[in-house]
Structure 1
Amino acid sequence: MQDKDINTARETQAGRRAFVKGAAVVAGAAALGAPAIVLGQNRRLVTRDPGGPFTKAFSQAFYEPFKKATGITVVGVASESEPSGMVKAMVESRNYRWDMAHLSNSTHMSLAKLGHLEPIAGPKGLGPNVSKIPANMRGEFILGVDVYATVIAYRTDTVKKPPQSWKDFFDTKGFPGLRSLRKNPYDTIEEALLADGVPPSQLYPLDLDRAFRKLSQIKKEVGVWWENGAQTSQLLKTGEVDMIPAWNGRAQVAIDDGAPVKLVWNQGIWTFEGFTILKGGPNVALCREFLEFCAQPQQQAIFTETLTYGPTAPDAFKYIKPERAKLLPNNPEYFASLTQANAEYWGKHKDAITDRYNSWLLS
């Protein structure tokens, strides 16, 4: 009887210790915006991300802190750019290699139209962190986490008369230098229309005939048609081209590596990227909790230490050093001069415009 009482007391004491430890973890997780319901579960989420510096930055800002707070492992897996076909195949076959996918806003629009994404809001609606993200940086099926802009980047050692607008960029006589353009109509069509005098507020719907006429004027002057962001960094670093429309973060890589490069923020075209949840996946509720965690301003500020892409949480700038903030596209100093790409328009017309653009390239 005495041994039984001793064992019972020990079990009670151990149970209390476990409860206290668990309560402490729950409290810590709650402070970070993580849900108590997932604590202690040996669970794993897989998300597609762009790889390279993104995986490093998101690991520091999101994956590792989320695991520390909840015990849930999040694995970032790189894939091809704009992996709409891969997401479509997974959802339709119900063979999920990913639970989530970090996508561009336009790609997310295309997949949402097909019914391949889950709403980011659960049965009780959006969480308090997600609901603070501006409406133009999230959607029913996407939580925007990073903002980037396509801007003019040029070499200061070879360009003696720097372009200050897309009109200047398309003026090869007035602003000499070897050009590069993207081998993709997204942004490129807008650049041509802005160069031809279309006001930013009147860009959409895109006047494709006018855009292709303008592009044809510069086509022979294009030395390289770039296909991915890493290529733009390399072109700037090697000096293979003098000026190029580039994603600001990729151009910054060249600057950080010592290349004599400057950015022109005027008339930049901005959009956002973010996390989406694959339709019908096995961990939808848990994915929503991860998104709520990612919407915290303190967490988003962390990825800007590695990536020069802006946060979507407005309060994140409170946690970003002023010198670093100057490199981000949604810094108030630049943001007013930028134009947001219309992802809804591109989501509806992307395939048709891409087919026409590819045919034009071959003509």
Structure 2
Amino acid sequence: MQIIKKKEEFRESLLSWYHREKRDLPWRNTSDPYYIWVSEVMLQQTRVDTVIPYYERFIDSFPTMEALADADENDLLKMWEGLGYYSRARNLQAGVREVVESYGGEVPDTRKEISTLKGVGPYTAGAVLSIAYGVPEHAVDGNVMRVMSRLLLIEDDIAIPRTKKIFEDVVMDLIDKKDPSSFNQGLMELGATICTPKPKCLLCPVRDFCTAFHEGRQEELPVKTKKTTMKVIPVASFAIQNEQGEWLLRQRPAKGLLAGLWEFPMIELLDGKTLPEKVKEQFDIELEEFVELLSFKHIFSHITWEMKSFKARMTEAETIPKGFKFFTNQEVEALPKPVPVIKIWEEIKRGE
């Protein structure tokens, strides 16, 4: 690992570029620690362009920590609908409740205290502390590790959790004590817009300080071992109506994948049985008027669903499967649904 010798010049180059070129993002127009916390949670594993409308709707609906703390979980999940990784929303609400109940509604301004809150890891803690409170704390995410690995020619594998400590230490060595907010956001912005997986080195404001650039190795870094092959599961989802035109859905369990969201009946297609056989076996109902809807893939962090979806009808003679309820079109609209169900529902509405 190399070192940056002219640290002050490096900081000046990064900060002047950031202040000149930074994107106009809604959470950059506030120093409210709650709003910054919300934005950082939403930005985990989600693109900025996707987050912006969600962030704005969320803040409109829950403008204070007290409003979020008191919110019904269904309302929270509906507001998060389509953003994915729903445990983020639950953890955010749990953490906010801790602040309201234990800290008088004031987000803690030390790493030790803020890190005790539900869902607040080292990165979120550092981001909130530096951006909202101006505390010189590291906020190391994937973008920052990519930038620093190239600047300092760090060849340690970033897929190994303990490697993060190396990057946290080098950021603390370089951080601008007078303006840690702009320094951390500058590193994040650089990684998001210039020092991308395919770097735009000719546009980089700190290229002169970059060891990997000078050695022509920028595209080799960061070092990251590949994940094991993702498990693929073929599944079928059934949008089932009764004779009144209502739709059959159930709420997923309170814990686990897509916890608390509402879904159509769904089965795994792993044993070669026909669809009617599988439906009968799993839900003890027989369906008629099968119509194929959409086929698509839905990728989670650890598995992929190969989805097939169908529209079908259930007669009055059939007993409603345990755990399911029928809902009107309007009621289905109001339910918090995962992305696969939203896609199927949108396809149904287009066909009506």
Which protein has the bigger strand share? 1
Same fold (TM over 0.5): no
TM normalised by structure 1 equals 0.24
TM normalised by structure 2 equals 0.24
Q: Which has the higher contact order (CA 8 A, sep 6+)?
A: 1
